[in-house]
């Protein structure tokens, strides 16, 4: 380590680049360096299991930002004697300062999300392999219990269920089937949330009518690929990266290297299809909501729904208004327009193609109905986002 700070410090960024959160984290570091730098940085495409580079042991650098996954890697970083900030977990920090997400805030936010939607039965799904998973769940459970609720817990036992995927999902589906309904389940991260949604499909359990699922991290590839799409806590990677770079810069200037924690609250919950409904206690309305979600995008109307339910239109209208404050027709339209918005934002399909895929007769009818509902045309909506 040089006896004085270089005019341009050398910093190694040992951060995986495979996830939304860590890419945002690096963007936060970049924002700090753009304003306060420059830094000479080492950065490469990395996965979670990428070891520290061999040259790090004898590197003439000035500082390190690291997300450490093993004790061996932690020891390699510590052996450099350089100022370093940990960005993943305190149990591998080796006494380094830590900057990361506030797990207490995450657990509390998910619990409040479920309570606001009327849930009074809860469960959690985690892995024993990660302490921060357990901390998120523990804080979730504490809020639930403080408000008079109880929480079932199925800690996962497989850190790599891909080796026995079918057996793991069969067991998970059986657990979901055994839970009281309706229920809100907190998954400690999005990967576990996606497993829950797939297991619900296997078990024939309706999401979100019977089981609502919320994950954590808002890894968009996972969340938007799931069926239905996964609601998730959005981490603030930009703020974590900026705070970590600020702290490291202070340390490289001679500031204290003693352990401290900087915890950043999440940015909120991105609500998607896995938890976007209020609890429906009326079994007829719950069945109606499920049938609408499954059939609304085809040749489907209120009369079709009544025939499927063997219910009169007046009865269904009255009970849906009582449970949802919406009529059957309004609920069908809501599901259709939600899909229209998704296709406008995520695809390049023409308005005519979108109309055909979402239960509208013609593109010009969709144009008029969308403008009446949103106050702007589908094209303007697509350009504005």
Domain coordinates in residue numbering, the chain: 10-101+237-266, 103-234, 283-380
Average pLDDT over residues 321-328: 87
Give the residue-averaged pLDDT of 365-380. Answer: 90
The per-residue b/e assignment along 36-48, b for 16 or more CB within 10 angstroms, e otherwise, is ebebebbeeebee
Evaluate if residue 226 carries a pLDDT over 90. yes
pLDDT at residue 73 greater than cutoff 50: yes
Percent of the chain residues topping a pLDDT of 90? 62
pLDDT at 145: 93
270: which strand partners? 232
pLDDT tens profile 4-47: 567 899 999 999 999 999 999 999 999 999 999 899 999 999 99
Q: Residue 196: its pLDDT value, please?
A: 96
Report helix angle 131-146 to 103-116, nearest 10.
Answer: 40
pLDDT value at residue 3: 44
pLDDT of residue 142: 93
Higher-pLDDT residue of 259 and 223 is: 223
State residue 327's pLDDT score. Answer: 93
Topology of the domain comprising 103-234: Rossmann fold (3.40.50)
Class of domain 10-101+237-266: alpha beta
Q: Residue 92: what are its φ and ψ, rounded to 5°?
A: -115, 20
Quickly state the pLDDT bin for 158 (edges 50, 70, 90): low
**pLDDT (mean) for 191-211:** 93
312-324 b/e (C-beta count within 10 Å ≥ 16 → b): eeeebbebbeebb
**End-to-end CA distance of the chain, in Å?**
48
Over residues 240-257, the pLDDT tens digits come to: 999 999 999 999 998 888
pLDDT of residue 153: 83
Q: Quick one: pLDDT at residue 4?
A: 55
pLDDT in tens, 119-146: 889 999 998 777 888 889 999 999 999 9
Q: CA angle 129-134-136, nearest 5°?
A: 135
Instruction: State the Rg of the chain over Cα.
Output: 25
Task: State percent of the chain over pLDDT 70.
Answer: 96
**Same CATH fold assignment for domains 10-101+237-266 and 103-234:** yes
Cβ(65)–Cβ(87) below 8 Å: yes
The pLDDT value recorded for residue 163 is 60
Q: What is the pTM of this model?
A: 0.79
Q: What residue has token string 């830094």?
A: 39
What's the confidence (pLDDT) of residue 1?
Answer: 42
pLDDT at 90: 73
The CATH number given to 283-380 is 1.10.10.60
Asked whether residue 157 carries a pLDDT value surpassing 80, the answer given is no
Q: What is the pLDDT of residue 2?
A: 43
Mean pLDDT of 324-336: 89
* CA pair distance 53, 64, nearest whole angstrom: 12
Mean of the per-residue pLDDT values of the chain: 89
């Amino acid at each position: 380590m040089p006896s004085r700070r270089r005019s341009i410090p050398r910093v190694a960024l040992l951060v995986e680049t495979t996830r939304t959160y860590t890419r945002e984290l690096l963007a936060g570091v970049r924002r700090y360096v753009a304003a306060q730098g420059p830094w000479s940085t080492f950065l490469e495409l990395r996965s979670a299991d990428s070891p520290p580079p061999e040259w790090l042991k004898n590197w003439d650098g000035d500082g390190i930002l690291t997300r450490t996954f093993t004790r061996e890697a932690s020891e390699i970083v510590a052996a450099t004697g350089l100022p370093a900030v940990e960005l993943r977990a305190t149990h591998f920090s080796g006494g380094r300062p830590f900057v990361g997400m506030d797990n207490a805030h995450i657990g509390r936010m998910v619990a409040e999300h479920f309570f606001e939607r009327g849930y009074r039965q809860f469960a959690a799904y985690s892995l024993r392999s990660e302490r921060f998973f357990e901390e998120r769940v523990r804080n979730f459970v504490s809020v639930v219990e403080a408000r008079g609720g109880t929480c079932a817990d199925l800690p996962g036992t497989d850190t790599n269920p891909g080796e026995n995927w079918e057996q793991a999902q069969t067991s998970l589906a059986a657990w979901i089937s055994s839970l009281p309904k309706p229920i809100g389940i907190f998954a400690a991260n999005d990967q576990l949330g996606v497993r829950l949604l797939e297991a619900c499909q296997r078990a024939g359990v309706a999401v979100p009518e019977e089981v609502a699922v919320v994950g954590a991290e808002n890894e968009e590839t996972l969340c938007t690929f799931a069926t239905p799409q996964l609601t998730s806590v959005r981490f603030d990677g930009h703020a974590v990266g900026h705070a970590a770079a600020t702290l490291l810069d202070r340390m490289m200037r001679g500031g204290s290297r003693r352990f401290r924690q900087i915890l950043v609250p999440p940015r909120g919950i991105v609500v998607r299809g896995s938890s976007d409904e209020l609890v429906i206690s009326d079994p007829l309305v719950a069945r109606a909501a499920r049938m609408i979600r499954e059939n609304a995008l085809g040749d489907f109307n209120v009369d079709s729904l009544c025939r499927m339910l063997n219910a009169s239109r007046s009865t269904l209208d009255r009970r849906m208004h009582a449970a949802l404050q919406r009529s059957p027709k309004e609920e069908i339209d809501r599901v259709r327009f939600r899909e229209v918005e998704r296709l406008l934002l995520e695809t390049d399909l023409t308005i005519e193609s979108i109309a055909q895929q979402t239960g509208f007769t013609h593109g010009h009818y969709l144009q008029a109905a969308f403008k009446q509902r949103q106050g702007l045309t589908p094209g303007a909506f697509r350009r504005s986002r």
